[in-house]
Amino acid sequence: MPTRVHPLLGAFAALVFLFLLAPLVIIVGASLSDTTYLTFPPQGLSLRWFANIFQIEAFRRTAITSLQVAFLGTALSLLIGVPAAYALNRYRVELPRWLSTLFVLPILVPEIVFGFSLLKSITIGSGLPVFPSLILGHALLVLPYSVRVVGASLASFDFSIEEAAMSLGCPPLRTFLTVVLPNIQAGVIAAFILAFITSINDVSVSVFLTGPGISTLPIQILAHMEQFFDPTIASVSVLLMLVTVGVMAIIEATLGLTFLTK
Amino acid sequence: MTKLAKWGLPLPATIAVVVLLIIPVALTIATTFGEAKGAFSTYAAFFNSGFRRAVLFRTLEVALITTALSLVIGFVTAYVIAQMPGRLKSIMIIAAVFPLLTGVVVRSFAWLIILGKNGIVNDTLMSIGLITEPLSMLYTEGSVIVAMVYLFVPLMILTLTGVLEGIPRDLTEASASLGAKPIPTFLQVILPLATPGLIVGAVLVFTGSFTSYATPQLLGGEKQMMMGTFLYQRAMVTFDWVGASTVAAIMVVITIAIVSIMSRIARRLNPMAV
């Protein structure tokens, strides 16, 4: 491709990035305002809305729930997703093609339909309490990441190394843990991170699976917004953006951010 | 041993998808056919209601406009990114990834501050004297579309940057060295090669916006009910579960239809396919 960019195209792209980043800057500004209502540019500078987050018990409680659900759901999805990804790559020609399609289904089915159906069949239909339902729902929601991102790592893994270890008498599980896993480490970490952030941010599935006393942070934010329109929400948003920064740092350190364009 | 591993390893994930996704969604769809008034009575009720038809058409319209705008904005931006030198390119990719990984609630909330009664747009317009009364921009189809485009442009940029980077430089150089100007090179070499990627991006954005919940909830409210918010309202506010299931079934059918038709077209149009 030519390396010269027409100035008009360059200007357009600059405007697009302004469009993408300005709203986030506005949130940061609004979170620092010393007013009782949301405004930008901030009037007076104050960190009191950040302090206010910690005064509101519901935010603390739902943040903990969100973290627990994201950790457990992601761990569960890796626990069942990594073996599936391994089999799909190791026995590629022998396994039926529909099997790999099956693990993409959670992307294909609208999340809101999935959340509603899960509530109907599992939470109410089978009487499963809300908390484990949330974990199962999130595990399934992020399963495609576990299978596909780890799968992408496995695709470039040379299985003859594994055969060498096994033919020298190394038992299968130990071979997997000491030979295969170190080679796909970056993929597993990236899958974990992408799944984790998807779970933390999820609304469509969680909105159906909140019960008495149990809710996730994004759902709590939505509920708070319906009653109060003060800078607290902006402060919570800033904290969530800091989580995003951390996540990006981890992706960059493991696979590199350009991985996301593949 | 091999046979055991081959079928045993994917088994837990398979069971999870079948038990937690396929069966529950199938049951949701099945309940819509179990009505005493006839198998398709809930669908007849849906399409006979002017309000519900309006919800469906509004959702389709918002999804289509969002997809079209995201395609244009995303493609041009990705084209610029693909031609940037390494360091600038990384910065631009980071600037696109950051909003992508920030949650939908945070990103929709930003537009409440921007478009609200006392928001930046109204403040600016009033202070320069263009308007005297604040405009009501929230809870309109426009506000939903702006927030949706904002939501999906980063996804489109990243998808298309990958696609454009994958186009071998030799091809555009060959085209240029044979005398083609930039615009014919773009139209006859780059665009056809990028078409499958454009289709993938369009499908992602269309299905994502067609089935979204949080953005229409925050920026559309009751006034601009869309399929996602309507499903939620039927299920959790009015407890009309058959009605909610009907909405769910229509969403599933439209999503799967779009995905399968478009992926078939993408496969046919792929000039790189052997």
Over residues B100-128, the pLDDT tens digits come to 999 999 999 999 999 988 888 998 899 89
Q: Indicate whether A26 belongs to any domain.
A: no
Tell me the pLDDT band of B28, cut-offs 50, 70 and 90: very high
Best mean pLDDT range from A180-189, B170-179, B208-217? B208-217
CB contact under 8 A, A4 and B83: yes
CB count, 10 Å around CB of B135? 15
- Which structure tokens are listed for A235? 């402060």
In whole angstroms, what is the distance from residue B167 CA to residue B232 CA?
A: 43
Residues of A in contact with B190 (CB under 8 A): 1
Q: Which of B225, B234, B185, B247 is nearest to B58 (CA)?
A: B225
Q: What is the ipTM of this complex?
A: 0.93
State yes or no: pLDDT of B21 exceeds 90.
yes
DSSP, collapsed to helix, strand or coil, labels residue A199 as helix
- pLDDT of res. A23: 96
> Higher pLDDT residue, A34 or B67?
B67
Tell me the pLDDT band of B263, cut-offs 50, 70 and 90: confident
If 0-12 CB within 10 Å is exposed, 13-18 middle and 19+ buried, where does residue A94 land? exposed
State yes or no: pLDDT of B182 exceeds 90.
no
- What's the CATH architecture for B50-269? Orthogonal Bundle (1.10)
Residue A166 DSSP label: H
Which residue is closest to B189 within chain A, CA to CA? A1
Q: Indicate whether A3 belongs to any domain.
A: no
Tell me the pLDDT band of B256, cut-offs 50, 70 and 90: very high
Q: Domain range holding A163?
A: 57-261
Q: Give the residue extent of every domain in chain B.
A: 50-269
In whole angstroms, what is the distance from residue A75 CA to residue A78 CA?
A: 5
State yes or no: pLDDT of B272 exceeds 70.
no
Mean pLDDT of B243-269: 92
In whole angstroms, what is the distance from residue B247 CA to residue A110 CA?
A: 11
Q: Indicate whether A237 belongs to any domain.
A: yes
DSSP string, chain B: -HHHHHHHTTHHHHHHHIIIIIHHHHHHHHHTT--TT-TTHHHHHHHH-HHHHHHHHHHHHHHHHHHHHHHHHHHHHHHHHHTS-HHHHHHHHHHHHHHHHS-HHHHHHHHHHHHSTTSHHHHHHHHTTS-SS----TTSHHHHHHHHHHHHHHHHHHHHHHHHHTS-HHHHHHHHHTT--HHHHIIIIIHHHHHHHHHHHHHHHHHHHHT--HHIIIIITTTT--HHHHHHIIIIIS--HHHHHHHHHHHHHHHHHHHHHHHHHHHHH-TT--
If 0-12 CB within 10 Å is exposed, 13-18 middle and 19+ buried, where does residue B229 land? buried
Q: Indicate whether A201 belongs to any domain.
A: yes
Tell me the pLDDT band of B274, cut-offs 50, 70 and 90: very low
CATH number, position A162: 1.10.3720.10
Mean pLDDT of B204-232: 96
Closest approach of A204 to chain B, Cα-based (Å) = 6
From B98, B110, B214, residue closest to A203, measured CB to CB = B214
Mean pLDDT of B211-229: 95
Interchain CB contacts (distance < 8 Å): A and B: 268
Q: What beta strand segments (E) does chain A contain? A: none
CB contact under 8 A, A99 and B79: no
Q: How many domains does chain A have?
A: 1
Which residue is closest to B260 within chain A, CA to CA? A108
Low-confidence ranges of chain A (pLDDT < 50): 1-2
- pLDDT of res. A2: 46
